[in-house]
Amino acid sequence: MSCDQTETLLKKIIRKIGQECAAQGQTLSETLVAFMVKAVVLDPRNYFNVDRILTKKDVQNLIQLCVTRLLDTTNPSLSTIKMQVYFDMNYANRAELLSEQHRVLEGKLAPVVRGITDSHPRVQAEMESVYRTIVSYVLLSFGLGSPTDIEVVREVTAALQSVFPQTEMITFISLSKKKKEQQLKNLAMLVTGIRLYNKECGKGGSSIDDLPAVLNEAIPSATQTVDEGLNMCRRLAHQYTALLESMQEDQHRYTQLSSFKLKEALFNVRQYEAFLCILLSDAIRSAQEVEKMNVEFGATMEQLKNTVQNKVSIDTKEVFPLFVALSNLWSSFQDEILLLSFLTNMANNLQQFSEIQSQLLPEDMLTSLLEGVTVKSDEERIRETMGTRVNVSDFKNQEWLFPETTDNFDQLLIQYHGFCAHAIGVKGLTLPGNPAIGILKHKERCYVFSSKEAAYIFAQDPDKFIQLNVEKAKEHAELIQLLELCHQFEYLAPYAQARNADKGLMKPTTKCDSSTQTDTHILPPTIVTSYEWNEWELRRKAIKLANLRRKLTHAMQTDLSHMRRENSTQVYLPKDVSTQTKRDNSSNVPRPQVFLEGLRGGSSPTTHMVKVDLTRAVDE
């Protein structure tokens, strides 16, 4: 089946599933349906072969399975997938969100800017109309007040006239379009800075909200809300993990708890926890930015007060940069308000996907099931294994990383979102990994473990356990994003890329980088370079040729140049060669030791000499 046929079939399947779900009262997005189709095909328990063309019976079976799973509102797995789809479709980081907001604002202001830059007023009434439009643009660009409020319009007009009187409209109209747009932005920042300064001095700005005070109250409240949600989902994760461990240890407990879908519930709260951690990190970053901006805003305002004081005339080069700095800081405050509102909405909307926990296991039922079960938090589990670590000498072909031997140890990219790589595939649990035990680096990827025993077992055959984790993710599709396994399922595209549901279902689409180049001139050039259209140039060339007819070229040789020519030779450069003609050797021979006695004579008239040879033999 070709790629186009696969996409057509996929769209038909998605449309059919959506229609059947809508008939049952469930209106679902195409993105969610598309992901569910791929998840059902991946699940080995459904026996779909991705290498085989789907028959009509297979398509009907696929549609029925997808509809069943999408309508099963009691399954935490569906809530987790919905949560992932919602987060992926709606979440944006700081840079993306602010960039989009600025793009939207520019789009809204574009008609106003176009009306100003494209106008060519000729009479005074038209000049005044364009000036009023500039006032509206200045007011709308920062949103400090309503354009229908007469007092606000008067305040903005007065501030604008102080830096851009109507007499300068003639000069403004003569500028190019790009320069007009740039001057409009500068005027908006200057007027905003002036209004903020007047508000600080108590001379206006009643319609301007105190954004720093609003942020100082709203950020702690938002952070507390996210913290409470984190504590709740972590407590549930610890309790579900304890129940699942008790099920594996006791067959009676397994029979008692197998109907509660605890694994799916555990994955749900773990995913909720991961998303809340992202939002909390953004909220903390926002709090830090606001704190820094408060200091800068106060310092700039104080500098502006010291510069202005009660002077009648002030150099614009001194105060205009300060007004612009105030407006930029205020714009940053507005961005933080937008970010905080976005984070709060995201946290509130994510909460609906975790409400299934209270339906699945009410608080009183969960308390009764936990009787006699020891519940350990993630921190307690890590503390229990802090004294143990892998012995590197036990592994010859494995690379282990430790804090004292690895630079930037805390910044290593850990696989499976930091969960134990052994417990996922073997036990189906998301236990926190302890990097202090040792981080296994296998095929350029890092893995952590919840215990030393788990690390030893995993290290014996990492590929086997990695494949077990992949199979577990096929059974529980929500694990693909929770454990960050997108590299294992590249053809299961992120939801944001599948909004139109036009990705291949059966196999990943083969892609390659290619490039083409077109010749600038295909035909050979036919330009006559010697052609001249200028009559005077032709006359000049004719005179030059006429003069050459009367010229002669002479050559001669002298005695010094006769039979001379340049010669060159090539030689081989000497090589550095060394030889050895002798070698140093030595031997050790005994030192002679001979003693003579009686040479000096004695009492007897005859001299008796005794010779004693103490030299050692050579063979000794």
Q: What are 351-367's pLDDT values in tens digits?
A: 998 888 888 888 888 88
| Percent over 90 (pLDDT), the chain | 37
pLDDT band at 519 (very low <50, low <70, confident <90, very high): low
Least confident among 99-108, 165-174, 359-368, 579-588: 579-588
Average pLDDT over residues 517-539: 80
Same domain, 185 and 223: no
Q: Is the pLDDT of residue 552 over 90?
A: no
Q: Which of 483, 224, 257, 470 is nearest to 360 (CA)?
A: 257
Same domain, 269 and 165: no
Same domain, 131 and 231: no
Q: Which of 151, 181, 201 is the C-terminal boundary of a domain? A: 201
The pLDDT value given to residue 501: 37
Domain count, the chain: 4
More confident residue, 598 or 432: 432
Phi-psi region of 25 (alpha: psi -120 to 50; beta: other; left: phi over 0): left
Burial of 370 (0-12, 13-18, 19+ CB in 10 A): middle
Query: In sequence order, what are the beta bridge partners of 447?
Result: 440
CA distance 324 to 163: 13
Q: Which of 201, 226, 258 is the C-terminal boundary of a domain? A: 201
Same domain, 67 and 156: no
Same domain, 176 and 215: no
Average pLDDT over residues 527-545: 88
Q: Is the pLDDT of residue 395 over 70?
A: yes
Average pLDDT over residues 213-229: 92
User: Cβ distance 472 to 479 under 8 Å?
Assistant: yes
More confident residue, 335 or 512: 335
The pLDDT value given to residue 508: 34
Tally helices (H) and strands (E) across the chain.
Answer: 21, 5
Least confident among 10-24, 433-447, 467-481, 582-596: 582-596
Same domain, 157 and 289: no
- The answer to the question of residue 298 being in a domain is yes
439-442 and 594-597 beta bridge pairing: unpaired
The pLDDT value given to residue 278: 94
Same domain, 189 and 265: no
Q: Is the pLDDT of residue 1 over 60?
A: no
> For the chain, what's the residue count?
620
CA distance 241 to 254: 13
Average pLDDT over the chain, rounded to an integer: 85
CA distance 395 to 455: 11
What single letter denotes the amino acid at residue 78?
Answer: L
The pLDDT value given to residue 11: 86
pLDDT tens digit string along 223-257?
A: 999 999 999 999 999 999 999 888 888 777 777 77
Same domain, 269 and 353: yes
Residues 6+ apart with CB under 8 A from 366: 239
- The answer to the question of residue 605 being in a domain is no
Same domain, 398 and 484: yes
- The answer to the question of residue 51 being in a domain is yes
Phi-psi region of 218 (alpha: psi -120 to 50; beta: other; left: phi over 0): alpha
pLDDT tens digit string along 286-340?
A: 999 999 999 999 999 999 988 887 766 777 888 899 999 999 999 999 999 999 9
With b meaning 16 or more CB within 10 Å and e meaning fewer, what string describes 4-34? eebbebbbebbebbbebbeeeeeebbbbbbb
pLDDT tens digit string along 55-88?
A: 888 888 888 889 888 888 888 999 999 999 999 9
Query: In sequence order, what are the beta bridge partners of 441?
Result: 399, 446
Least confident among 188-202, 273-287, 530-544, 601-615: 601-615
- The answer to the question of residue 465 being in a domain is yes
More confident residue, 389 or 493: 389
Q: Which of 459, 476, 491 is the C-terminal boundary of a domain? A: 491
Average pLDDT over residues 255-267: 83
Same domain, 282 and 186: no
Same domain, 350 and 444: no
Q: Is the pLDDT of residue 464 over 60?
A: yes
Least confident among 30-44, 199-213, 357-371, 592-606: 592-606
User: Cβ distance 491 to 480 under 8 Å?
Assistant: no
- The answer to the question of residue 614 being in a domain is no
More confident residue, 382 or 489: 382
- The answer to the question of residue 412 being in a domain is yes
Average pLDDT over residues 559-577: 70
SS3 611: strand
Domain that holds residue 47: 3-71
> CA-based angle 44:48:53, to the nearest 5?
155
More confident residue, 30 or 579: 30
The pLDDT value given to residue 350: 92
User: Cβ distance 469 to 416 under 8 Å?
Assistant: yes
Tokens of 266: 């555990």
Q: Which of 248, 261, 238 is nearest to 361 (CA)?
A: 261
- The answer to the question of residue 311 being in a domain is yes
The gap from C-alpha 226 to its chain's centroid, in whole angstroms, comes to 23
CA distance 357 to 266: 10
Same domain, 228 and 347: yes
The pLDDT value given to residue 596: 85
Residues 6+ apart with CB under 8 A from 10: 34, 37, 501, 502, 503, 504, 505
- The answer to the question of residue 175 being in a domain is yes
CA distance 258 to 88: 31
The pLDDT value given to residue 2: 60
pLDDT band at 566 (very low <50, low <70, confident <90, very high): low
